[in-house]
Structure 1
Amino acid sequence: MIETVWRGGALLGEGPVWDAAAGVLWFVDIKGRRVHRLSPESGRVDAWDAPAPVGWVLPAEGGVMLAGLRTGIARFDPLTGAFDHLAHVEPDTPANRLNDATVAPDGTVWFGSMDDGESERSGRVYRWDGRSVHATAIDPVVITNGPGVSPDGRTLYHVDTAGGVIHAVAIGEDGAIGAVRDFARIDPADGSPDGVTVDAAGNVWVGLWNGWRARLYDPGGAIVTEVRLPAANVTKVALGGPDLTTAYATTASIGLDQEARAAQPDAGGLFSFRVEVPGQRLPPARLAKGA
Protein backbone atom coordinates (compact mmCIF):
# COMPACT_ATOMS: atom_id res chain seq x y z
CA MET A 1 0.00 0.00 0.00
CA ILE A 2 1.27 3.42 -1.00
CA GLU A 3 0.71 6.39 1.29
CA THR A 4 1.01 9.97 0.11
CA VAL A 5 2.97 11.58 2.94
CA TRP A 6 3.40 15.10 1.54
CA ARG A 7 1.73 16.88 -1.36
CA GLY A 8 4.30 19.65 -1.70
CA GLY A 9 4.67 19.52 -5.48
CA ALA A 10 8.47 19.72 -5.48
CA LEU A 11 9.97 20.64 -8.81
CA LEU A 12 12.81 18.18 -8.32
CA GLY A 13 12.40 16.26 -5.07
CA GLU A 14 15.59 14.35 -4.26
CA GLY A 15 18.02 13.08 -1.67
CA PRO A 16 15.77 11.56 1.03
CA VAL A 17 17.82 10.45 4.04
CA TRP A 18 16.65 9.11 7.39
CA ASP A 19 18.08 10.84 10.48
CA ALA A 20 17.86 8.02 13.03
CA ALA A 21 19.08 10.14 15.93
CA ALA A 22 16.30 12.69 15.46
CA GLY A 23 13.68 10.36 14.00
CA VAL A 24 13.06 12.59 10.97
CA LEU A 25 13.43 12.42 7.21
CA TRP A 26 15.40 15.04 5.30
CA PHE A 27 14.98 15.67 1.57
CA VAL A 28 15.48 18.51 -0.89
CA ASP A 29 13.87 20.25 -3.85
CA ILE A 30 16.90 20.89 -6.02
CA LYS A 31 15.33 23.31 -8.48
CA GLY A 32 13.13 24.85 -5.81
CA ARG A 33 16.25 25.53 -3.70
CA ARG A 34 14.66 24.20 -0.55
CA VAL A 35 15.55 21.79 2.24
CA HIS A 36 12.67 19.85 3.82
CA ARG A 37 12.35 17.91 7.06
CA LEU A 38 9.48 15.49 7.72
CA SER A 39 8.54 14.60 11.30
CA PRO A 40 6.58 11.36 10.74
CA GLU A 41 4.80 11.32 14.10
CA SER A 42 3.10 14.66 13.50
CA GLY A 43 3.23 14.70 9.70
CA ARG A 44 4.75 18.16 9.85
CA VAL A 45 7.14 19.22 7.09
CA ASP A 46 9.47 22.14 7.83
CA ALA A 47 11.36 23.94 5.07
CA TRP A 48 14.43 26.14 4.67
CA ASP A 49 15.50 28.19 1.66
CA ALA A 50 18.96 27.39 0.26
CA PRO A 51 21.23 30.03 -1.30
CA ALA A 52 21.75 27.91 -4.45
CA PRO A 53 20.36 24.72 -6.00
CA VAL A 54 20.80 22.09 -3.29
CA GLY A 55 21.49 18.52 -4.38
CA TRP A 56 21.50 16.92 -0.94
CA VAL A 57 21.74 17.33 2.82
CA LEU A 58 23.09 14.76 5.28
CA PRO A 59 23.11 14.67 9.08
CA ALA A 60 26.66 15.44 10.19
CA GLU A 61 28.76 15.34 13.32
CA GLY A 62 28.02 18.09 15.81
CA GLY A 63 24.27 18.11 15.26
CA VAL A 64 24.41 20.06 12.00
CA MET A 65 23.95 19.10 8.36
CA LEU A 66 26.35 18.78 5.45
CA ALA A 67 24.89 20.22 2.25
CA GLY A 68 25.84 19.86 -1.40
CA LEU A 69 25.14 23.16 -3.18
CA ARG A 70 25.85 24.24 -6.72
CA THR A 71 28.52 26.44 -5.12
CA GLY A 72 30.15 23.54 -3.25
CA ILE A 73 30.04 21.83 0.14
CA ALA A 74 28.45 23.79 2.99
CA ARG A 75 27.66 23.41 6.68
CA PHE A 76 23.93 23.88 7.24
CA ASP A 77 22.55 24.71 10.68
CA PRO A 78 18.77 24.09 10.88
CA LEU A 79 18.56 26.17 14.07
CA THR A 80 19.65 29.34 12.30
CA GLY A 81 19.02 28.44 8.65
CA ALA A 82 22.60 29.48 7.85
CA PHE A 83 24.69 27.84 5.12
CA ASP A 84 28.44 28.27 5.68
CA HIS A 85 30.74 27.45 2.75
CA LEU A 86 33.31 24.72 3.43
CA ALA A 87 34.81 23.68 0.09
CA HIS A 88 34.58 24.32 -3.63
CA VAL A 89 34.07 21.25 -5.81
CA GLU A 90 34.19 22.32 -9.46
CA PRO A 91 34.82 26.07 -9.56
CA ASP A 92 36.03 25.82 -13.17
CA THR A 93 32.87 24.04 -14.38
CA PRO A 94 30.08 26.58 -13.78
CA ALA A 95 27.56 24.63 -15.87
CA ASN A 96 27.73 21.75 -13.38
CA ARG A 97 25.91 21.27 -10.09
CA LEU A 98 26.01 18.68 -7.31
CA ASN A 99 23.30 16.03 -7.50
CA ASP A 100 23.20 13.18 -4.96
CA ALA A 101 25.15 11.72 -2.04
CA THR A 102 25.39 9.09 0.68
CA VAL A 103 27.33 8.40 3.86
CA ALA A 104 29.55 5.31 4.01
CA PRO A 105 29.84 3.21 7.19
CA ASP A 106 33.06 5.06 8.10
CA GLY A 107 31.37 8.48 7.92
CA THR A 108 32.91 9.57 4.63
CA VAL A 109 30.55 11.05 2.05
CA TRP A 110 30.36 9.97 -1.58
CA PHE A 111 28.66 12.38 -3.97
CA GLY A 112 28.48 13.31 -7.63
CA SER A 113 28.12 16.24 -10.00
CA MET A 114 26.30 16.61 -13.30
CA ASP A 115 25.86 18.92 -16.26
CA ASP A 116 22.83 21.02 -15.36
CA GLY A 117 21.97 21.18 -19.07
CA GLU A 118 22.06 17.35 -19.18
CA SER A 119 24.17 17.12 -22.34
CA GLU A 120 27.91 17.26 -21.51
CA ARG A 121 29.86 14.35 -20.00
CA SER A 122 31.16 16.50 -17.17
CA GLY A 123 29.67 14.76 -14.13
CA ARG A 124 32.17 13.19 -11.77
CA VAL A 125 32.16 11.24 -8.48
CA TYR A 126 33.86 12.60 -5.34
CA ARG A 127 34.60 11.65 -1.74
CA TRP A 128 34.49 13.98 1.28
CA ASP A 129 36.64 12.86 4.22
CA GLY A 130 35.37 15.41 6.72
CA ARG A 131 37.77 18.15 5.76
CA SER A 132 38.40 18.11 2.00
CA VAL A 133 37.06 16.86 -1.33
CA HIS A 134 38.83 14.10 -3.29
CA ALA A 135 38.07 13.37 -6.96
CA THR A 136 37.79 9.72 -7.96
CA ALA A 137 39.07 8.12 -11.16
CA ILE A 138 35.56 7.02 -12.21
CA ASP A 139 34.93 8.05 -15.82
CA PRO A 140 32.81 11.20 -16.21
CA VAL A 141 29.18 10.92 -17.31
CA VAL A 142 26.41 13.39 -18.09
CA ILE A 143 24.41 12.74 -14.90
CA THR A 144 25.90 11.01 -11.88
CA ASN A 145 23.33 9.75 -9.44
CA GLY A 146 22.53 7.83 -6.33
CA PRO A 147 25.85 6.93 -4.79
CA GLY A 148 25.14 4.08 -2.40
CA VAL A 149 27.57 2.03 -0.30
CA SER A 150 27.30 -1.61 0.76
CA PRO A 151 27.00 -2.42 4.48
CA ASP A 152 30.63 -3.58 4.63
CA GLY A 153 31.83 -0.33 3.06
CA ARG A 154 33.63 -2.14 0.25
CA THR A 155 31.33 -1.47 -2.73
CA LEU A 156 30.12 1.84 -4.17
CA TYR A 157 27.03 1.84 -6.38
CA HIS A 158 27.30 4.66 -8.91
CA VAL A 159 24.55 5.49 -11.41
CA ASP A 160 25.05 6.72 -14.96
CA THR A 161 21.50 7.97 -15.46
CA ALA A 162 21.74 8.90 -19.14
CA GLY A 163 23.55 5.63 -19.88
CA GLY A 164 20.90 3.59 -18.10
CA VAL A 165 23.34 1.66 -15.94
CA ILE A 166 24.19 1.14 -12.27
CA HIS A 167 27.89 0.45 -11.73
CA ALA A 168 29.42 -1.39 -8.78
CA VAL A 169 32.83 -0.01 -7.82
CA ALA A 170 35.32 -1.57 -5.41
CA ILE A 171 36.39 0.67 -2.50
CA GLY A 172 39.87 0.12 -1.07
CA GLU A 173 40.95 0.39 2.56
CA ASP A 174 42.28 3.89 1.87
CA GLY A 175 39.08 5.02 0.17
CA ALA A 176 40.53 4.74 -3.31
CA ILE A 177 38.29 3.16 -5.94
CA GLY A 178 39.20 -0.01 -7.76
CA ALA A 179 37.55 -2.14 -10.41
CA VAL A 180 34.31 -0.89 -11.97
CA ARG A 181 31.70 -3.34 -13.26
CA ASP A 182 28.12 -3.20 -14.49
CA PHE A 183 25.72 -4.07 -11.67
CA ALA A 184 22.45 -3.61 -13.59
CA ARG A 185 21.36 -2.18 -16.93
CA ILE A 186 17.89 -0.68 -17.17
CA ASP A 187 15.75 -1.01 -20.30
CA PRO A 188 14.83 2.53 -21.47
CA ALA A 189 11.21 1.37 -21.63
CA ASP A 190 11.33 0.98 -17.83
CA GLY A 191 12.67 4.51 -17.24
CA SER A 192 16.09 5.88 -16.32
CA PRO A 193 17.92 4.90 -13.10
CA ASP A 194 18.06 7.73 -10.58
CA GLY A 195 19.09 7.61 -6.92
CA VAL A 196 19.97 4.35 -5.16
CA THR A 197 19.85 3.21 -1.55
CA VAL A 198 21.45 0.05 -0.13
CA ASP A 199 19.62 -1.84 2.62
CA ALA A 200 21.06 -3.80 5.55
CA ALA A 201 21.31 -7.00 3.48
CA GLY A 202 23.11 -5.32 0.58
CA ASN A 203 20.06 -5.11 -1.70
CA VAL A 204 19.85 -2.01 -3.87
CA TRP A 205 16.75 0.17 -4.27
CA VAL A 206 16.65 2.50 -7.29
CA GLY A 207 14.14 5.15 -8.32
CA LEU A 208 13.20 5.06 -12.01
CA TRP A 209 12.75 8.44 -13.68
CA ASN A 210 9.82 8.30 -16.09
CA GLY A 211 9.28 4.75 -14.87
CA TRP A 212 6.51 5.21 -12.28
CA ARG A 213 8.28 2.84 -9.90
CA ALA A 214 10.99 1.98 -7.43
CA ARG A 215 12.86 -1.25 -8.09
CA LEU A 216 14.79 -3.55 -5.76
CA TYR A 217 17.85 -5.57 -6.88
CA ASP A 218 19.57 -8.27 -4.87
CA PRO A 219 23.37 -8.06 -4.30
CA GLY A 220 23.91 -10.09 -7.47
CA GLY A 221 22.01 -7.62 -9.66
CA ALA A 222 18.79 -9.62 -10.10
CA ILE A 223 15.43 -7.87 -9.82
CA VAL A 224 13.62 -8.82 -6.59
CA THR A 225 10.51 -6.63 -6.73
CA GLU A 226 9.05 -3.36 -7.99
CA VAL A 227 6.72 -0.87 -6.32
CA ARG A 228 4.47 1.24 -8.55
CA LEU A 229 4.01 4.85 -7.49
CA PRO A 230 1.49 7.55 -8.53
CA ALA A 231 4.16 9.77 -10.10
CA ALA A 232 6.24 9.10 -13.20
CA ASN A 233 9.52 10.63 -12.07
CA VAL A 234 10.67 8.65 -9.03
CA THR A 235 14.02 9.99 -7.89
CA LYS A 236 15.15 8.07 -4.80
CA VAL A 237 14.09 5.85 -1.90
CA ALA A 238 15.23 6.17 1.72
CA LEU A 239 14.57 3.53 4.38
CA GLY A 240 13.55 4.94 7.73
CA GLY A 241 11.14 4.80 10.63
CA PRO A 242 11.85 3.28 14.06
CA ASP A 243 12.68 -0.11 12.54
CA LEU A 244 14.06 1.23 9.23
CA THR A 245 11.37 -0.61 7.23
CA THR A 246 9.40 2.40 6.02
CA ALA A 247 10.45 3.39 2.50
CA TYR A 248 10.15 7.06 1.58
CA ALA A 249 10.23 7.93 -2.13
CA THR A 250 10.83 11.41 -3.52
CA THR A 251 9.44 12.45 -6.91
CA ALA A 252 9.56 15.37 -9.34
CA SER A 253 7.02 17.52 -11.15
CA ILE A 254 9.44 19.47 -13.32
CA GLY A 255 8.80 19.33 -17.07
CA LEU A 256 5.28 17.93 -16.84
CA ASP A 257 2.75 19.47 -19.20
CA GLN A 258 -0.88 20.15 -18.28
CA GLU A 259 -2.04 16.71 -19.36
CA ALA A 260 0.69 14.93 -17.40
CA ARG A 261 -0.03 16.97 -14.28
CA ALA A 262 -3.69 16.03 -14.52
CA ALA A 263 -2.72 12.35 -14.70
CA GLN A 264 -0.43 12.60 -11.66
CA PRO A 265 -1.66 15.42 -9.39
CA ASP A 266 0.67 14.39 -6.56
CA ALA A 267 3.83 14.50 -8.70
CA GLY A 268 6.60 16.13 -6.72
CA GLY A 269 5.21 14.67 -3.53
CA LEU A 270 6.68 12.29 -0.98
CA PHE A 271 5.32 8.74 -0.78
CA SER A 272 5.85 5.85 1.61
CA PHE A 273 5.44 2.08 1.68
CA ARG A 274 6.62 -0.79 3.86
CA VAL A 275 9.53 -3.10 3.05
CA GLU A 276 10.66 -6.44 4.47
CA VAL A 277 14.41 -5.79 4.77
CA PRO A 278 15.40 -2.77 6.88
CA GLY A 279 17.76 -0.06 5.79
CA GLN A 280 21.20 0.68 7.13
CA ARG A 281 21.58 2.96 10.13
CA LEU A 282 23.90 5.53 8.57
CA PRO A 283 26.46 7.29 10.75
CA PRO A 284 26.65 11.09 10.75
CA ALA A 285 28.81 12.54 8.01
CA ARG A 286 32.33 13.40 9.07
CA LEU A 287 32.92 17.05 9.84
CA ALA A 288 36.34 18.05 11.13
CA LYS A 289 36.53 20.35 14.13
CA GLY A 290 36.59 23.94 13.02
CA ALA A 291 34.85 23.11 9.75
Structure 2
Amino acid sequence: MSNLVQADEVELVLDLHADIGEGPTWDAATGTLVFVDSTPGRIYRYDPSSGGLSSVRVGQAVGAAIPRRNGGLVAAVRDGIGLVDETSGALELIAPIEAGIADNRMNDAKCDSRGRLWAGTFSTSFTRNAGALYRINPDHSYARVVPGVFISNGIAWSPDEKFMYYNDSGSRGVDVFDYDIDEGVPANRRRLITFDRADGLPDGMTVDAEGHLWVAHFRGGAVRRYRPDGTLAGTVKLPVSQVASCTFGGADLRDLYITTATHTMNAEQLRREPLSGALFRCRPGVAGLPANPYAG
Protein backbone atom coordinates (compact mmCIF):
# COMPACT_ATOMS: atom_id res chain seq x y z
CA MET A 1 0.00 0.00 0.00
CA SER A 2 1.26 3.49 -0.81
CA ASN A 3 0.04 7.03 -0.49
CA LEU A 4 -0.75 7.96 -4.08
CA VAL A 5 -1.29 11.61 -3.18
CA GLN A 6 -0.57 13.44 0.09
CA ALA A 7 -2.99 16.00 1.52
CA ASP A 8 -0.73 18.93 0.59
CA GLU A 9 -0.60 17.69 -3.02
CA VAL A 10 -4.36 17.86 -3.52
CA GLU A 11 -5.52 20.99 -5.33
CA LEU A 12 -8.35 23.13 -3.98
CA VAL A 13 -10.71 23.80 -6.90
CA LEU A 14 -13.74 25.47 -5.29
CA ASP A 15 -14.15 26.47 -1.65
CA LEU A 16 -17.92 26.02 -1.51
CA HIS A 17 -18.53 25.02 2.14
CA ALA A 18 -21.08 22.53 0.81
CA ASP A 19 -23.26 20.78 3.35
CA ILE A 20 -22.82 17.50 1.47
CA GLY A 21 -20.98 17.76 -1.86
CA GLU A 22 -22.06 14.66 -3.77
CA GLY A 23 -22.57 12.89 -7.09
CA PRO A 24 -19.72 14.28 -9.24
CA THR A 25 -20.04 13.27 -12.91
CA TRP A 26 -17.86 14.34 -15.83
CA ASP A 27 -19.94 15.53 -18.79
CA ALA A 28 -17.66 14.82 -21.76
CA ALA A 29 -20.04 16.49 -24.21
CA THR A 30 -19.53 19.89 -22.56
CA GLY A 31 -16.17 19.38 -20.83
CA THR A 32 -17.73 20.20 -17.47
CA LEU A 33 -18.15 18.62 -14.05
CA VAL A 34 -21.68 18.21 -12.70
CA PHE A 35 -22.08 17.74 -8.95
CA VAL A 36 -24.54 18.61 -6.17
CA ASP A 37 -24.83 20.03 -2.68
CA SER A 38 -27.34 17.51 -1.46
CA THR A 39 -29.23 19.09 1.46
CA PRO A 40 -30.11 22.48 -0.10
CA GLY A 41 -30.93 20.82 -3.43
CA ARG A 42 -28.34 22.69 -5.48
CA ILE A 43 -26.86 21.37 -8.73
CA TYR A 44 -23.52 22.79 -9.87
CA ARG A 45 -21.79 22.75 -13.24
CA TYR A 46 -18.08 23.62 -13.25
CA ASP A 47 -16.02 24.40 -16.37
CA PRO A 48 -12.31 23.83 -15.62
CA SER A 49 -11.21 25.45 -18.88
CA SER A 50 -12.69 28.82 -17.91
CA GLY A 51 -13.14 28.45 -14.17
CA GLY A 52 -16.83 29.19 -14.65
CA LEU A 53 -19.37 27.89 -12.14
CA SER A 54 -23.13 27.88 -12.53
CA SER A 55 -25.78 26.45 -10.24
CA VAL A 56 -29.49 25.94 -9.92
CA ARG A 57 -31.73 24.85 -7.04
CA VAL A 58 -34.43 22.24 -7.62
CA GLY A 59 -36.51 22.84 -4.49
CA GLN A 60 -35.76 19.59 -2.68
CA ALA A 61 -32.80 17.51 -1.56
CA VAL A 62 -30.80 16.01 -4.42
CA GLY A 63 -28.43 13.05 -4.28
CA ALA A 64 -26.98 13.17 -7.79
CA ALA A 65 -27.45 14.81 -11.19
CA ILE A 66 -26.44 13.00 -14.37
CA PRO A 67 -26.28 14.19 -18.00
CA ARG A 68 -28.86 12.77 -20.39
CA ARG A 69 -27.86 11.30 -23.74
CA ASN A 70 -29.73 13.97 -25.71
CA GLY A 71 -28.90 16.88 -23.42
CA GLY A 72 -30.11 18.13 -20.07
CA LEU A 73 -29.91 16.48 -16.67
CA VAL A 74 -31.71 13.77 -14.74
CA ALA A 75 -31.58 14.04 -10.95
CA ALA A 76 -32.17 11.75 -7.98
CA VAL A 77 -34.20 13.94 -5.63
CA ARG A 78 -36.21 13.56 -2.43
CA ASP A 79 -39.39 12.49 -4.23
CA GLY A 80 -37.82 10.23 -6.85
CA ILE A 81 -36.26 10.81 -10.26
CA GLY A 82 -36.78 14.03 -12.21
CA LEU A 83 -35.68 15.89 -15.33
CA VAL A 84 -34.08 19.25 -14.57
CA ASP A 85 -34.30 22.54 -16.45
CA GLU A 86 -30.84 24.00 -15.79
CA THR A 87 -32.03 27.53 -16.49
CA SER A 88 -34.95 27.70 -14.07
CA GLY A 89 -34.43 24.72 -11.79
CA ALA A 90 -37.86 23.41 -12.75
CA LEU A 91 -38.17 19.72 -11.97
CA GLU A 92 -40.35 17.26 -13.93
CA LEU A 93 -40.82 14.14 -11.82
CA ILE A 94 -40.71 11.04 -14.06
CA ALA A 95 -40.45 8.32 -11.41
CA PRO A 96 -42.05 9.05 -7.99
CA ILE A 97 -39.94 6.49 -6.16
CA GLU A 98 -40.90 6.23 -2.47
CA ALA A 99 -42.46 9.71 -2.69
CA GLY A 100 -45.10 8.58 -0.19
CA ILE A 101 -42.57 7.56 2.47
CA ALA A 102 -42.02 10.77 4.43
CA ASP A 103 -38.59 9.95 5.86
CA ASN A 104 -37.09 8.43 2.71
CA ARG A 105 -35.27 10.14 -0.14
CA MET A 106 -33.05 9.29 -3.08
CA ASN A 107 -29.29 9.39 -2.68
CA ASP A 108 -26.44 8.47 -5.03
CA ALA A 109 -27.06 7.44 -8.66
CA LYS A 110 -25.14 6.18 -11.69
CA CYS A 111 -25.87 4.86 -15.20
CA ASP A 112 -24.67 1.69 -16.90
CA SER A 113 -23.56 1.74 -20.55
CA ARG A 114 -27.07 0.95 -21.80
CA GLY A 115 -28.31 4.19 -20.26
CA ARG A 116 -30.20 2.64 -17.35
CA LEU A 117 -30.12 4.78 -14.22
CA TRP A 118 -29.41 3.10 -10.89
CA ALA A 119 -30.33 5.05 -7.76
CA GLY A 120 -30.95 4.19 -4.14
CA THR A 121 -32.80 5.50 -1.11
CA PHE A 122 -32.30 5.82 2.62
CA SER A 123 -34.28 6.93 5.66
CA THR A 124 -33.39 10.43 6.87
CA SER A 125 -34.28 9.24 10.37
CA PHE A 126 -31.75 6.44 9.76
CA THR A 127 -34.20 3.60 10.18
CA ARG A 128 -32.10 0.54 9.46
CA ASN A 129 -32.73 -1.25 6.15
CA ALA A 130 -35.60 1.07 5.16
CA GLY A 131 -34.05 1.95 1.79
CA ALA A 132 -33.58 0.14 -1.50
CA LEU A 133 -31.68 0.24 -4.80
CA TYR A 134 -33.75 0.87 -7.94
CA ARG A 135 -33.25 0.55 -11.69
CA ILE A 136 -34.85 3.32 -13.74
CA ASN A 137 -35.16 2.34 -17.39
CA PRO A 138 -34.91 4.73 -20.37
CA ASP A 139 -38.72 4.59 -20.74
CA HIS A 140 -39.00 5.89 -17.13
CA SER A 141 -40.35 2.61 -15.77
CA TYR A 142 -38.57 1.45 -12.65
CA ALA A 143 -38.10 -1.57 -10.42
CA ARG A 144 -36.88 -2.16 -6.88
CA VAL A 145 -33.92 -4.50 -7.32
CA VAL A 146 -32.12 -4.57 -3.95
CA PRO A 147 -34.38 -4.16 -0.88
CA GLY A 148 -33.37 -3.80 2.76
CA VAL A 149 -30.71 -1.12 2.26
CA PHE A 150 -29.57 1.09 5.15
CA ILE A 151 -27.86 4.03 3.36
CA SER A 152 -27.64 3.56 -0.40
CA ASN A 153 -24.49 5.12 -1.80
CA GLY A 154 -21.74 4.51 -4.38
CA ILE A 155 -22.47 2.48 -7.52
CA ALA A 156 -19.92 1.43 -10.15
CA TRP A 157 -19.13 -1.25 -12.72
CA SER A 158 -15.99 -3.07 -13.80
CA PRO A 159 -14.64 -1.97 -17.20
CA ASP A 160 -16.20 -5.02 -18.90
CA GLU A 161 -19.44 -4.54 -16.91
CA LYS A 162 -19.40 -8.14 -15.75
CA PHE A 163 -19.42 -6.90 -12.15
CA MET A 164 -21.42 -4.23 -10.35
CA TYR A 165 -20.07 -2.67 -7.14
CA TYR A 166 -22.30 -1.17 -4.46
CA ASN A 167 -21.84 0.70 -1.19
CA ASP A 168 -24.45 0.48 1.54
CA SER A 169 -22.75 2.93 3.89
CA GLY A 170 -24.56 1.61 6.93
CA SER A 171 -23.07 -1.84 6.39
CA ARG A 172 -19.51 -0.43 6.37
CA GLY A 173 -18.57 -2.33 3.25
CA VAL A 174 -18.42 -2.66 -0.52
CA ASP A 175 -20.42 -5.46 -2.11
CA VAL A 176 -20.04 -6.92 -5.59
CA PHE A 177 -22.64 -8.53 -7.86
CA ASP A 178 -22.35 -10.47 -11.08
CA TYR A 179 -23.96 -8.17 -13.66
CA ASP A 180 -25.96 -9.01 -16.78
CA ILE A 181 -25.55 -5.90 -18.93
CA ASP A 182 -28.09 -7.11 -21.50
CA GLU A 183 -30.87 -7.47 -18.94
CA GLY A 184 -29.67 -4.95 -16.36
CA VAL A 185 -29.83 -7.54 -13.58
CA PRO A 186 -27.31 -7.93 -10.71
CA ALA A 187 -27.01 -11.33 -9.02
CA ASN A 188 -24.91 -13.31 -6.54
CA ARG A 189 -24.25 -10.48 -4.10
CA ARG A 190 -21.23 -10.93 -1.85
CA ARG A 191 -18.98 -8.82 0.35
CA LEU A 192 -15.78 -7.53 -1.27
CA ILE A 193 -14.40 -5.11 1.35
CA THR A 194 -15.28 -4.58 5.02
CA PHE A 195 -14.16 -1.42 6.83
CA ASP A 196 -13.29 -0.71 10.44
CA ARG A 197 -14.91 2.20 12.28
CA ALA A 198 -11.64 4.15 11.98
CA ASP A 199 -11.94 3.96 8.17
CA GLY A 200 -15.14 6.00 8.22
CA LEU A 201 -18.12 5.12 6.03
CA PRO A 202 -17.85 4.07 2.38
CA ASP A 203 -19.61 6.79 0.40
CA GLY A 204 -19.30 7.61 -3.31
CA MET A 205 -17.23 5.41 -5.60
CA THR A 206 -15.78 5.17 -9.10
CA VAL A 207 -13.71 2.68 -11.12
CA ASP A 208 -10.61 3.41 -13.18
CA ALA A 209 -9.56 2.05 -16.58
CA GLU A 210 -7.48 -0.64 -14.88
CA GLY A 211 -10.53 -1.94 -13.03
CA HIS A 212 -9.56 -0.63 -9.58
CA LEU A 213 -12.18 0.86 -7.26
CA TRP A 214 -11.82 4.34 -5.78
CA VAL A 215 -13.88 4.70 -2.59
CA ALA A 216 -14.54 7.96 -0.73
CA HIS A 217 -14.26 7.45 3.03
CA PHE A 218 -16.71 9.74 4.82
CA ARG A 219 -15.18 10.77 8.15
CA GLY A 220 -12.09 8.83 7.03
CA GLY A 221 -10.27 11.74 5.37
CA ALA A 222 -9.30 9.88 2.22
CA VAL A 223 -10.14 8.33 -1.11
CA ARG A 224 -8.68 4.84 -1.30
CA ARG A 225 -7.90 2.73 -4.34
CA TYR A 226 -8.71 -0.99 -4.16
CA ARG A 227 -7.79 -3.82 -6.48
CA PRO A 228 -10.61 -5.92 -7.97
CA ASP A 229 -9.93 -8.55 -5.29
CA GLY A 230 -10.61 -5.95 -2.56
CA THR A 231 -7.04 -5.42 -1.38
CA LEU A 232 -5.81 -1.88 -0.79
CA ALA A 233 -3.62 -0.43 -3.56
CA GLY A 234 -3.15 3.18 -2.45
CA THR A 235 -4.54 6.23 -0.70
CA VAL A 236 -5.28 9.85 -1.60
CA LYS A 237 -5.10 11.87 1.61
CA LEU A 238 -7.42 14.89 2.00
CA PRO A 239 -7.10 17.88 4.35
CA VAL A 240 -10.69 17.26 5.52
CA SER A 241 -12.37 14.27 7.15
CA GLN A 242 -15.79 14.20 5.47
CA VAL A 243 -14.90 12.94 2.00
CA ALA A 244 -18.13 12.21 0.16
CA SER A 245 -17.52 11.17 -3.45
CA CYS A 246 -15.13 11.12 -6.40
CA THR A 247 -14.98 10.78 -10.17
CA PHE A 248 -12.44 11.07 -12.97
CA GLY A 249 -12.69 13.98 -15.38
CA GLY A 250 -10.76 16.24 -17.71
CA ALA A 251 -10.00 15.71 -21.39
CA ASP A 252 -7.79 12.70 -20.60
CA LEU A 253 -9.93 11.47 -17.66
CA ARG A 254 -6.86 11.68 -15.41
CA ASP A 255 -8.11 14.36 -13.03
CA LEU A 256 -9.69 12.85 -9.91
CA TYR A 257 -12.36 15.26 -8.61
CA ILE A 258 -13.34 14.82 -4.97
CA THR A 259 -16.38 16.30 -3.19
CA THR A 260 -16.53 16.86 0.57
CA ALA A 261 -18.95 17.96 3.29
CA THR A 262 -19.48 20.15 6.34
CA HIS A 263 -22.56 18.17 7.45
CA THR A 264 -23.11 18.19 11.26
CA MET A 265 -19.64 19.66 11.89
CA ASN A 266 -19.42 22.04 14.85
CA ALA A 267 -17.48 25.31 15.02
CA GLU A 268 -14.37 23.70 16.48
CA GLN A 269 -14.30 20.99 13.80
CA LEU A 270 -14.70 23.62 11.08
CA ARG A 271 -11.88 25.64 12.61
CA ARG A 272 -9.59 22.60 12.41
CA GLU A 273 -10.77 21.70 8.89
CA PRO A 274 -11.57 25.03 7.19
CA LEU A 275 -11.69 23.51 3.69
CA SER A 276 -14.50 21.11 4.55
CA GLY A 277 -17.21 21.21 1.90
CA ALA A 278 -14.75 22.11 -0.87
CA LEU A 279 -14.22 20.54 -4.28
CA PHE A 280 -10.71 19.12 -4.71
CA ARG A 281 -8.71 17.71 -7.60
CA CYS A 282 -5.56 15.62 -8.04
CA ARG A 283 -3.81 13.54 -10.71
CA PRO A 284 -3.08 10.13 -9.19
CA GLY A 285 -1.46 8.67 -12.32
CA VAL A 286 -4.28 6.58 -13.77
CA ALA A 287 -7.19 7.30 -16.10
CA GLY A 288 -10.85 6.83 -15.29
CA LEU A 289 -13.71 5.49 -17.39
CA PRO A 290 -16.14 7.72 -19.31
CA ALA A 291 -19.38 8.44 -17.44
CA ASN A 292 -22.51 6.96 -18.98
CA PRO A 293 -25.43 9.32 -19.68
CA TYR A 294 -29.07 8.47 -19.02
CA ALA A 295 -30.85 7.29 -22.17
CA GLY A 296 -34.28 8.57 -21.13
Matched, 1:249 2:258: yes
Matched, 1:65 2:73: yes
* Residue 277 of structure 1: how far off its partner (Å): 1.9
Matched, 1:23 2:31: yes
Which residue number corresponds to residue 258 of structure 1? Answer: 267
* Residue 139 of structure 1: how far off its partner (Å): 4.1
| Aligned residue pair count | 286
Distance 2:270 2:72 in 1: 36
Correspondence for 1:185 among 194, 197, 203: 194
Correspondence for 1:38 among 32, 36, 46: 46
Correspondence for 1:214 among 203, 210, 223: 223
- The C-alpha deviation readout for 1:82-109, integer Å capped at 9, x for no partner, is 2211111113322111110111122111
Distance 1:269 1:71 in 2: 27
Q: Percent identity?
A: 34
Q: Within 5 A, what are the aligned runs for 1:135-174?
A: 135-136=144-145, 138-172=146-180, 173-174=182-183
| Residue pair 2:25, 2:291 contacting (<8 A) in 1 also | no
Distance 1:154 1:129 in 2: 19
Q: TM-score, structure 2 length as denominator?
A: 0.94
Distance 1:177 1:8 in 2: 36
- The C-alpha deviation readout for 1:111-152, integer Å capped at 9, x for no partner, is 11111122331111111111211110x341210111112222
Distance 1:21 1:275 in 2: 24
Distance 1:77 1:202 in 2: 34
Q: Within 5 A, what are the aligned runs for 1:247-286?
A: 247-286=256-295
Which residue number corresponds to residue 208 of structure 2? Answer: 199
- Specify every segment of 5 or more residues in structure 1 that has no aligned partner in the other structure, as ranges: none
Amino acid at match of 2:276: A
| Residue pair 1:212, 1:234 contacting (<8 A) in 2 also | yes
Correspondence for 1:56 among 41, 64, 80: 64
* Residue 80 of structure 1: how far off its partner (Å): 4.0
Distance 1:61 1:193 in 2: 29
| Residue pair 1:113, 1:143 contacting (<8 A) in 2 also | yes
Amino acid at match of 1:56: A
Greater shift in the superposed pair: 116-125 or 233-242: 116-125
Distance 1:141 1:99 in 2: 12
Which residue number corresponds to residue 5 of structure 1? Answer: 13
Which residue number corresponds to residue 240 of structure 1? Answer: 249
Distance 2:51 2:240 in 1: 20
Matched, 1:111 2:119: yes
| Residue pair 2:256, 2:281 contacting (<8 A) in 1 also | yes
Q: TM-score, structure 1 length as denominator?
A: 0.95
Distance 1:213 1:86 in 2: 35
| Residue pair 1:10, 1:32 contacting (<8 A) in 2 also | no
Distance 1:209 1:260 in 2: 15
| Residue pair 2:46, 2:52 contacting (<8 A) in 1 also | yes
- Specify every segment of 5 or more residues in structure 2 that has no aligned partner in the other structure, as ranges: 1-8
Which residue number corresponds to residue 227 of structure 1? Answer: 236
| Residue pair 1:217, 1:224 contacting (<8 A) in 2 also | yes
